[in-house]
Copies of this chain bind each other. A is one copy, B any other.
């Protein structure tokens, strides 16, 4: 892991861009934390639209998390952003974007099928590297988009202790079997009036999770309109489980 840039944001948060092999990523740490007290980490998931495009929403989540005492990190997904493009993912992504903008049903099965098998080990490699930094301890949470990646990580990565999942994208049926194997505490967000989403599939998926502590939080506001108070509640979930 190589840091390639560093800037101190107004809110007392250090933002560092890094590369891990060919994978670009960003790490945010609260600068107020004493070096002697490593902080817990939240991995920030996001849809495969490129880190640059997702930056405004990611940095907002990072700043909120830093205020609660968490480090956060994210990496570029395979085939996204400045990483080498794959024509087939490219096509699937532009279909996805068009569908989301038109409010049509979103089917990112192709994206999932191609990206998921690569993305999960990349997230794990990033976690290996991040946990070697002296300022970062455990435990680790996963928060955010591409719910199949969140589910798969929750199943295969024992260092992830709690997850906030966003039930806002297509879930391949094969993912239901994985969901039954999830046992960590889950806080699941669903946008009730998200027309590009299959609400019943999201409810079925929530039902399938094997976790003893799972809660579903449904709000209005459309696909990207998760209310601020819902973000605050998700933050409290992490504080409860990771602090």
**Chain A residues proximal to chain B, CB less than 8 Å:** 192, 203, 206-207, 212-220, 227, 229-230, 232-233, 236-237, 240
Per a CB cutoff under 8 Å, which of B212, B230, B236 touches A229? B236
Nearest neighbor of A213 in chain B, beta-carbon distance? B220
In this complex, the member of A218, A219, A232 whose beta carbon has the largest number of chain B beta carbons within 10 angstroms is A218
Oligomer: number of copies: 2
**Contact A217/B214 with A203-B203, A240-B229 known, Cβ cut-off 8 Å:** no
CA distance A45 to B215 in the complex (A): 23
Closest CB of chain B to A162's CB: distance in Å? 13
CA distance A237 to B192 in the complex (A): 18
**Contact A230/B218 with A192-B207, A203-B203, A207-B192 known, Cβ cut-off 8 Å:** no
- Among all A-B residue pairs, the 6 with the closest Cβ atoms: A216-B218, A215-B219, A217-B217, A233-B233, A215-B218, A214-B220
